[in-house]
Amino acid sequence: MPRRPLLAMALVATLSVVTLTSCAPSSSSSSATAPPDTAVQHAQFGAPAAPDGHTLELQSDVVVVGGGHNAVWGASSDGTTWTLDSNAPGMDQLAVDKVLLATGYATGRIVQITKDGDRTDVVLAPIAITDLVKNGEVRFDQEVNPGELDVQGFDGGSITDTTEGGDGTISPVSLITPKEDYGDPLRDKPLPVPAKEFSKKTEDWELSGGTGADGLHFAVTTEASGLKVFATGTLLFDALHINLGMVIANSVAGGARGRVSGIQGVKVDVQAGSQNQGGSTIKKEFKLPFEIPIQTLIGGVPVFMKLSASVVVNAALVGTDATITGSGEWHLGSGLDVKIQDEAVTTNGDQDLKVVKSIMDSISGIALGGAVFNLGFKFKMLAGVGAPYFGAGGFATLTVTVGIGIGSALGSPFVLCRSASYDMALGTGVGIVTEPNILTSLLERIPHVKDVLPDDGLTRQATKPILHRKQTMPENQVCVGSGDEDK
């Protein structure tokens, strides 16, 4: 079937927001003949869809399954396979290539249907927001309290080695379950219940994140192959105001517009050491396997604001038993107020960076040949629809990079040099966001998925640096050299 183009989004109307909270899990099995506890389903699988028929005009190939979370019996941990009540209203209208709309997460293009008595397994592929809505207005306008947010974990995420090889390629490392081990989505690999914390372990690394009273936090840690790393970061806010949305007319959307305010600052903690002969080099990008969903009901149609995070580590520890540590906290004097219009970003003037805890004063370590550790993290806010592993529409990003170093620029054994840097950038754009590893697995299982994926040819993004600080101590020619410093 023809693919509809995905375009940018605009803000137009004020709508109420329903934030869903997590509940204790219940048990279910493949022989279930009745849905589990409805409160659990409401938290885990999203708000039920009940379109009012006039606020949003849906596309003609959208099938609404009635009963909402009562019709959903389970989902696989990667969010692709949904087990529905075969007797729910609208189930008789399901067909491959149509769009399912059941709950906030149980929404997508149908690529496979397997019926077994009272239960039906439906496999979904990503859709663009314009695959669901033909005409209508959407606006997110919500003040977010971090203590009220839950983390939705899923069987995704990735660790990418960003060290260029001989051919300059990047090698991904998947965190998802091999396709031959999927099993029954109700019993073997269920979608996790939302919680305050979520973590995922691989052979060498552990990725974790969550919410708390001060904001959103993450951690990447390892203690393998002669390397120890503990790196954490927190995006600080107490009342984050997110205003993003879209207007769609005849399956086409306009330019991205919106406003995000209330970001108070950032804090980080880095500890790293190497026991390897000659030291260690780390160049990794981590796509964290969780997102923080905020759900809205627009004319009875559930739509998400999804917050996700990626972490980049670039480090070099030179020499056996090299170590480096540092921690710091910075606040933005007046908070960060970002305006987005037609893929351009503006902020509330020059950013006044207040040092709450000096990372420069905390830098320590043993590195005869020098050591540097750069920790970067990107938070993305996406307005979209569908399962945890994808989304489509307008988005805003905040990227923060903190770097520390110890050693001497001239290799002098008599002077210990310490350096620290802090950079912040804002971005906005429009596009399709998918979990590459999950999408690859889905294509391997069901090859014709490639024929129904949304067109991503219009994906675009603009980024604007808004803050740069750098300092080296002591301030002498040995340590500073010819580099420019920001005091």
Q: What's the pLDDT score for residue 263?
A: 87
Q: What's the pLDDT score for residue 481?
A: 63
Nearest to 369 by CA among 319, 315, 419, 316: 319
Count how many residues are written for the chain.
Answer: 487
**Spatial distance between the Cα atoms of 312 and 300, rounded to a whole number of angstroms:** 39
Q: What's the pLDDT score for residue 358?
A: 92
SS (H, E, C) the chain: CCCCECCCCCCCCCCCECCCCCCCCCCCCCCCCCCCCHHHHHHHHCCECCCCCCCEEECCCEEECCCHHHCEEEEECCCCEEEEECCCCCHHHCCCCCEEECECCCEEEEEEEEEECCEEEEEEECCCHHHHEEEEEEEEEEEECHHHCCEEECCCCEEEECCCCCCCCCEEEECCCCHHHCCCCCCCCECCCCECEEEEECCCEEEEEEEECCEEEEEEEEEECCEEEEEEEEEEEEEEEEEEEEEEECCEECCCEEEEEEEEEEEEEEEEEECCCCEEEEEEEEEEEEEEEEEEEECCEEEEEEEEEEEEEEEEEECCCEEEEEEEEEEEEEEEEEEEECCEEEECCCCCEEEEECHHHHCECCCCCCEEEEEEEEEEEEEECCCCCEEEEEEEEEEEEEEEEEECCCCCCCCCEEEEEEEEEEEEEEEEEECHHHHHHHHHHCHHHHHCCCECCCCEEEEEEEEEEEEEECCCHHHHCCCCCCC
Low-confidence ranges of the chain (pLDDT < 50): 1-37, 166-183, 185-187, 457-458, 482-483, 487
Q: What's the pLDDT score for residue 431?
A: 65
CA 164, 168, 170: angle at the middle one, nearest 5? 65
Q: What's the pLDDT score for residue 438?
A: 76
Q: Per-residue pLDDT tens for 166-183? A: 343 444 444 433 333 434
Residue 181, CA distances (Å) to 75, 177, 435, 466 in order: 15, 6, 19, 46
**Spatial distance between the Cα atoms of 423 and 265, rounded to a whole number of angstroms:** 12
Strands 99-101 and 62-64: parallel
Instruction: Name the strands in the sheet holding 72-75, side by side, starting at the edge strand that comes first in the sequence.
Output: 62-64, 99-101, 107-116, 119-125, 81-85, 72-75
**Spatial distance between the Cα atoms of 106 and 123, rounded to a whole number of angstroms:** 10
Enter the pTM of the model: 0.77
Q: What's the pLDDT score for residue 335?
A: 65
**Spatial distance between the Cα atoms of 441 and 458, rounded to a whole number of angstroms:** 24
Q: What's the pLDDT score for residue 412?
A: 54
Q: Per-residue pLDDT tens for 400-427? A: 999 999 885 555 556 678 899 999 888 8
CB of 99 within 8 A of CB of 111?
Answer: no
Residue 286, CA distances (Å) to 45, 217, 326, 368 in order: 26, 14, 21, 29
